[in-house]
Structure 1
């Protein structure tokens, strides 16, 4: 079949893409960054497309010539200034589905979410539900697949849950008794491909869940076991406190950690696995065999242990710059600063200009770090600035090199922090 696939670089979309190609389908893969597909296959046609700007039927009709089926895997877990639930999970998908129906596409598969139903309350679920309903009203063979938590190597949520699991104490909303029913990514991809088989008739809504539910508390303990750690202590926290703590997510640069997602967790995320078993002709993969009983790699263990340090390091870097500038301006005696500048050849009128100018630069660096202004280039500039003045001070004021408190040598770990955070930020860009 000729298939148009959206969200091909995402966790689910990429797994679906690989399975479609393995089964011999021709795939037009739509995504914002085709270079990230990392697949060289004769049946693959990458197509650069921004879903947020494809909210009209006319945006899709030219792309659907000779297309037999559409698979929509686009989804976001949190909104930002450039992407909203309404744009990516309602407007663009609805336009795509309607264009598909006009173009005579035989089948349309929509990756929705478990909970996008009559009881949906969160903006995430409501936006998915709106697209589902629009698709279900079309005269076309449609499939609405509603996965629970999807797990597997490379999953966005897996990193956060492993980081929570690595903590010595698990903070559990209302005791962590909420039910989840995680499904392996391979089962999701297999279900999508099953939908596209000619003998399989559409107009079906199907919950994608594992064989049996598990509590959130047991989910974290299972992940902790993967990391090679003993059982963690647990602490039950009231739901309203959990909601308050979730508000810290934006400060930790963690979009999954939000009030909406805590609310969705508290609602539970499980369903009967019987229909999926019947549809696939086999039971979904067992969570213990596929995940909990497979030891995490060294990279996964490092990632889990360092997960929450990344945003804290960025705030620490910002604080160092801000405090350095503020201290120079308001707390450290200016006359002593001028005495330190003199051996560097800065005297007279140049001394206050240098003092105030460098202090302003420090404060600007701190503020720019807080707002992540061109963060990769900014961190590199900070590295060269710190290295430069460290070398100058070491040459002109050698007493700071041999000072017992090591005021200059402490720049070495700061330099390493700048490079480390820059490397991590580069992975996310």
Structure 2
């Protein structure tokens, strides 16, 4: 596969994740151009080289932010809104330093420095070379389709979506109501005590848990939004971790009271990935696009 295709596949994969991390707020400027127009510009330079030893800066029709570029890739794949996760630049730099020890060349400190500086042409030569305005990224994403490294697209019928969301809502609401109405008979107070919440602290923890579960049950019935799905995932992980640390015997119980949370997490992730786009239906065809490039003519 061509190097440009690998780059586009990486962007498409990053954009398709349910949680998309951003360097800082993702406001770094880029100016993607279509790979076919890059090839056309090179061909025109070969046919009419003009002055030798000249640098031609090439870019798309207008600069956009790094976040907007990933959002365009995501819309082209027909995916719903992700959970955008801003990562402080010092942390990104530290992670890039650690990543340099791995057998990869994509994520490093030089890449971050280039992105932070902005990857846009000072004098965009692409319109002059093409003799027309460059293709916008939205238009380019309808021409060719980059293949993500991992295809995370999920499609569920309305009926299957309703059954899945209804089962999750039932789990959260049933847990909340049975714990609130039968706190002793259900054993929830004993479990709270095992986790270190006794007396008034146990009651407070019970009220918090029942309230949280009720909210999660109502959210499960509503249209999937990223923060609501993330909240359910965090709640399942939190409950599972707390129980495993304070009651390790539950991890080897033959009925699998904690192991059963694994398929619950899988169902939550599948529903998250299957969430439809927030806006109108988007053509699922995707495209190969490149950041702004520079082409040097002559020896």
The TM-score bracket by the shorter chain reads 0.3 to 0.5
Bigger CA radius of gyration:
1
TM-score (ref. length: structure 1): 0.33
Pick 1 or 2: higher relative contact order, CA cutoff 8 A, min separation 6. Answer: 2
TM-score (norm 2): 0.46
